Structure 1
Amino acid sequence: MHVEPTAIPGLLVVQLDVHEDARGWFKENWQRDKMVRLGLPDFGPVQNNMSFNSRRGATRGIHTEPWDKLVSVATGRVFAAWVDMRAGDTFGATHSLELDAGTAVFVPSGVGNSYQTLEDGTVYSYLVNDHWRPGTAYPSLHLADPSAAIPWPIALEDAEVSDKDRANPYLEGVVPMAPKRTLVVGAQGQLGRALAAEFPAAVLVDREELDLTDPDAVAAWPWDEHDIVLNAAAYTAVDEAETPDGRRAAWAANATAPATLARLADQHGFTLVHYSSEYVFDGTLDADGGHTEDEPLSPLGVYAQSKAAGDVAVGTARRHYLVRTSWVIGEGRNFVRAMQRLAADGVSPGVVDDQVGRLTFTGELARATRHLLEAGPAYGTYNVTNGGPPTSWYDVARAVFRLSGHDESDVSPTSTAAYSAGKGLAPRPLGSVLDLSKVRSTGFEPEDAMSALERYLAAQSPQAGTRP
């Protein structure tokens, strides 16, 4: 068994193993583990259809359905042709071949397909990943379209073709099928803004446009129009999460909403990218000095517990990337901008020196997201931060003062226990270092955090910062 690409992106020919003897033949028409390992998408089929054709020459198509399918022959022989009906550079591209018991074809959504039987009593099947819905409109193409120039073995005038298929338009009259679009949830936050810049064609929503905790809003949203959903929405008020109202808000945004997206991802077939935090660990670092993706969760406070619950929920989706990060810095309120403002105001802050981790700039998270989606490593959890040696918040504050043209000695060290005394703050993990080996193994090399900090500060003015 092996998989062969074609000139139409995503259209894959599968050469199947057929076992024959005097009784007939047997084949594995869909074998998920084998086929996914060979490069076929794990497209999550939900329906299997059979088409029986009593006479040679029965010709159907060219139809463009909004779902993926795996087409194969049960008995007989079929000449099959495909035309790319998706908007883009390959619109109108064609591919054709003869299907027999040993050949199957994966047809992605938006590629028109047509089949002409070459023997009486031919049966072919197609395994699809969405249910047929009455009233669904999609492009069709005339079987004799001159630009497609499909080499039909049986002339169309001698073939059996329905009146409906004879009335299909030629290519110049076809409206291409629009591509599915990326959806960014939480687009107004620090990370959401970076994702919007990295994915400029994406649909951008915040809670006002789409409240994932509102069943009616979720039911009304056109999820089938998206192939990727980037969930940058989160409740991040760590200390307020310890209050009764904050606890409810944290669990709604950080646990319930991701669970809803995980369910929708499997229902509608999109890839879910969700962003998590090193707070899902208690901060105890092993001898290697970094939390790995498979380390058991051990959250301390309410915020951390709600994020951990979201991680578990997202992990149930078939197509998901859970991006775990730490110490996020972007556009908006954050530690770096606060320190920059304090330096400009002549304030000498005390900053904790026993919490250790790495900064993560939102542009780096967005770049890593694009890398994962384009490189296509195995679905699952990936740690992503900027690179370089771990630092404390005290180290970062001193660097901000220095790079802003102020004396770094104005920053004094303190412990987490001393800083938190009498303030009723939520617990913080002391060890926030994330091991980056897994994401590096995919070909992504994180930029050094201090280099990114220097560039970030150069782009900021002291007046832009606000106290967190």
Structure 2
Amino acid sequence: MATEFGKNLTVTTTPIPGLIVLDLPVHGDSRGWFKENWQRQKMTATGIDLPDFGPVQNNISFNDAVGTTRGIHAEPWDKYVSVATGRIFGAWVDLREGDTFGAVYTTEIDASKAIFVPRGVGNSYQTLEPDTAYTYLVNDHWSPAATYTFLNLADETAAIDWPIPLDTVEISEKDKNHPRLADVIPMAPKKILVTGANGQLGRALRDEFGDHPWIDYTTRDDLDLTSPDLPAARRWRDYGTIINAAAYTRVDTAETPDGRTDAWAANVTAVAALARIATENGITLVHVSSDYVFDGTKTGPYAPTDPVSPLGVYGQTKAAGDAIVSVVPRHYILRTSWVIGDGPNFVRTMVSLAQRGINPTVVNDQTGRLTFTTDIARGLKHLLERNAPYGIYNVTGSGEPQSWAEVAAEVFAVTGHDPQRVTGVTTEQYFASATGPIAPRPRNSVLDLGEIEATGFHPTAAADSLSRLFSS
């Protein structure tokens, strides 16, 4: 070990995605040695994608004899492996669904090395010295309900070159009888929970993500986000992502006493419950927000970093939800505007009026861009798949901003009707005859798309989405 003293911390990737080898600084003298086996701040700041995986349990497996052989077990949690004393030959096999299923990596580990093993990668080792203490941190507590995946140590496809022949070492009967690779059922990804699955965005998310055993699409009927029993409603450690597409969106009704209560319950109380669950279980929380968090007085597009200043109850609840989600360690907040999807919306209303021969008056002093739910779903999936930096992103259609009256005229035109039938009026004129509460609207709803475009995602031009809607 003396030759290893004083080296710098280095981190190396492997052919198995997420499997990361660490060379650890070991300090010692004639009395012995010392190392920082897991130092969160230093190790997550190496520049390599070593996650802050949140260990909750530390285990030690002590092995008396040379040649003790264990594995290959893939567990539904992340593992950080090292050796306190002795030396091992380690072998790891990717047993996750995907292109790298069956990939193998081997290396020797002594007290100066560690390896981060992501969920679903099979882990095994063979001791090369007596009295070897094999240690590992895990980010979930053992559970009899957990799902494991196993591979036979002698699998011919993996073809692991064990330094000590397997027929000469002690192996448990369980390990001897694990399946060959061709018979292994790959470990599915961590689960995704989608709330509000029957809404316009929820339906677009289903189309984008598809139906898979590891995706739960839920509605209030099967998962009440305001229930005090929510923390026990799922085994949350099995989930990697919660996509919160549920929201109270009736902006005018939110100004009534009952509406205010309902809006705060759905947009704040429920969001706080999800945020608590996400934080406690290391889950990525994706939250969909709104241009209504701004007062619309800014000249030019709103950036994600602009201070919020909501005008009405709906906007206040969305701003409060954003603030809650922002403190979840792993979060994406997607702010959007003027949403159009599969359900009642402004475009459908204009089409109906055009077809019925009605000439509408439409507000011409509110400016923004239409956002189709297909773009929100695509952008959301893009952020997750790219592991984009956590934070706030604006997602709207791209192109030149328009007023509602201009959008209405365009709808008339693309459906073969005379756009001159649309008359523009001010917001005050439009609501002059209203009998119930009217929520204040931001006059400027244009959101800056720079942050999400920097990740490689480019929203569709709103005009193109509108034309495509009527050409399909």
Q: 1: distance between equivalents of 2:66 and 2:195?
A: 52
In structure 1, the partner of 2:471 is 458
What is the DSSP-based 3-state SS (H/G/I as helix, E as strand, rest coil) of the residue aligned with 1:38? coil
In structure 2, the partner of 1:337 is 348
Q: Identify the range of structure 1 (209-218 vs 125-134) with the bigger mean alpha-carbon deviation.
A: 209-218
Q: 2: distance between equivalents of 1:80 and 1:212?
A: 44
1:183 maps to which of 173, 189, 193: 193
**Cα deviation digits, residues 204-240 of structure 1 (max 9, x gap):** 2221122211233552334344322221111111111
What is the DSSP-based 3-state SS (H/G/I as helix, E as strand, rest coil) of the residue aligned with 1:365? helix
- 1:81 Cα deviation after fit: 1.0
In structure 1, the partner of 2:267 is 254
Q: 2: distance between equivalents of 1:387 and 1:21?
A: 63
**Cα deviation digits, residues 112-153 of structure 1 (max 9, x gap):** 211222222322321211112245452333333333332222
Q: Please show how residues 10-409 of structure 1 align to structure 2 within 5 Å.
A: 10-20=18-28, 24-36=32-44, 37-134=47-144, 136-171=146-181, 174-201=184-211, 202-216=215-229, 219-286=232-299, 289-409=300-420
What is the DSSP-based 3-state SS (H/G/I as helix, E as strand, rest coil) of the residue aligned with 2:149? coil
In structure 2, the partner of 1:431 is 444
Change (3 A) 1:170 1:445: closer
Q: 1: distance between equivalents of 2:154 and 2:318?
A: 56
Letter in 1 for 2:163: P
- 1:68 Cα deviation after fit: 0.5
Q: 2: distance between equivalents of 1:328 and 1:54?
A: 64
- 1:380 Cα deviation after fit: 1.0
Change (3 A) 1:231 1:137: closer
Q: 1: distance between equivalents of 2:327 and 2:230?
A: 22
What's the % identity of the aligned pairs? Answer: 59
- 1:303 Cα deviation after fit: 1.1
CA contact (8 A) 1:212 1:218 kept: no
Q: 1: distance between equivalents of 2:179 and 2:342?
A: 50
CA contact (8 A) 1:365 1:384 kept: yes
CA contact (8 A) 1:210 1:218 kept: no
CA contact (8 A) 2:231 2:277 kept: no
CA contact (8 A) 2:304 2:393 kept: yes
**Cα deviation digits, residues 233-264 of structure 1 (max 9, x gap):** 11111111112221222112111222222222
Q: 2: distance between equivalents of 1:130 and 1:412?
A: 61
CA contact (8 A) 2:293 2:318 kept: yes
CA contact (8 A) 2:67 2:164 kept: yes
- 1:53 Cα deviation after fit: 2.7
Q: 1: distance between equivalents of 2:156 and 2:62?
A: 28
CA contact (8 A) 1:356 1:432 kept: yes
Q: Identify the range of structure 1 (102-111 vs 19-28) with the bigger mean alpha-carbon deviation.
A: 19-28
Q: 2: distance between equivalents of 1:141 and 1:401?
A: 62
Change (3 A) 1:456 1:27: farther
Q: 2: distance between equivalents of 1:312 and 1:267?
A: 18
Letter in 1 for 2:60: M
Q: Identify the range of structure 1 (29-38 vs 409-418) with the bigger mean alpha-carbon deviation.
A: 29-38
CA contact (8 A) 2:140 2:237 kept: no
Q: Identify the range of structure 1 (87-96 vs 166-175) with the bigger mean alpha-carbon deviation.
A: 166-175
What is the DSSP-based 3-state SS (H/G/I as helix, E as strand, rest coil) of the residue aligned with 2:424? strand
CA contact (8 A) 2:92 2:105 kept: yes
Q: 2: distance between equivalents of 1:30 and 1:294?
A: 34
Q: 1: distance between equivalents of 2:190 and 2:169?
A: 35
What is the DSSP-based 3-state SS (H/G/I as helix, E as strand, rest coil) of the residue aligned with 2:417? coil
- 1:98 Cα deviation after fit: 0.4
Q: How many residues are aligned here?
A: 457
Change (3 A) 1:250 1:22: same
- 1:329 Cα deviation after fit: 0.7
Q: 2: distance between equivalents of 1:34 and 1:152?
A: 33
What is the DSSP-based 3-state SS (H/G/I as helix, E as strand, rest coil) of the residue aligned with 1:179? coil
- Structure 1-normalised TM-score? 0.90
CA contact (8 A) 1:2 1:38 kept: no
CA contact (8 A) 2:71 2:124 kept: yes
What is the DSSP-based 3-state SS (H/G/I as helix, E as strand, rest coil) of the residue aligned with 1:215? coil
Q: 1: distance between equivalents of 2:170 and 2:325?
A: 49
The runs of 5 or more residues in structure 1 that have no matched partner are 460-468
Q: Identify the range of structure 1 (361-370 vs 448-457) with the bigger mean alpha-carbon deviation.
A: 448-457
Letter in 2 for 1:298: S
Change (3 A) 1:333 1:51: same
Change (3 A) 1:2 1:368: farther
Q: 1: distance between equivalents of 2:31 and 2:414?
A: 79
- 1:168 Cα deviation after fit: 4.0
Change (3 A) 1:390 1:383: same
In structure 1, the partner of 2:5 is none
Letter in 2 for 1:451: D
Q: 2: distance between equivalents of 1:238 and 1:393?
A: 17
**Cα deviation digits, residues 337-378 of structure 1 (max 9, x gap):** 111211222222221111111111111111111211122121
Change (3 A) 1:173 1:368: closer
Letter in 1 for 2:438: L
Q: Identify the range of structure 1 (1-10 vs 160-169) with the bigger mean alpha-carbon deviation.
A: 160-169
Change (3 A) 1:55 1:301: same
In structure 2, the partner of 1:462 is none
Letter in 1 for 2:282: G
Letter in 2 for 1:299: P
Q: 2: distance between equivalents of 1:217 and 1:177?
A: 26
Change (3 A) 1:22 1:444: farther
CA contact (8 A) 1:314 1:322 kept: yes
- Structure 2-normalised TM-score? 0.90
Q: 1: distance between equivalents of 2:31 and 2:405?
A: 77
**Cα deviation digits, residues 177-199 of structure 1 (max 9, x gap):** 33334332111111111111110
Change (3 A) 1:6 1:293: same
Are residue 448 (structure 1) and residue 461 (structure 2) matched?
yes
CA contact (8 A) 1:211 1:218 kept: no
Letter in 2 for 1:277: S
The runs of 5 or more residues in structure 2 that have no matched partner are 1-8
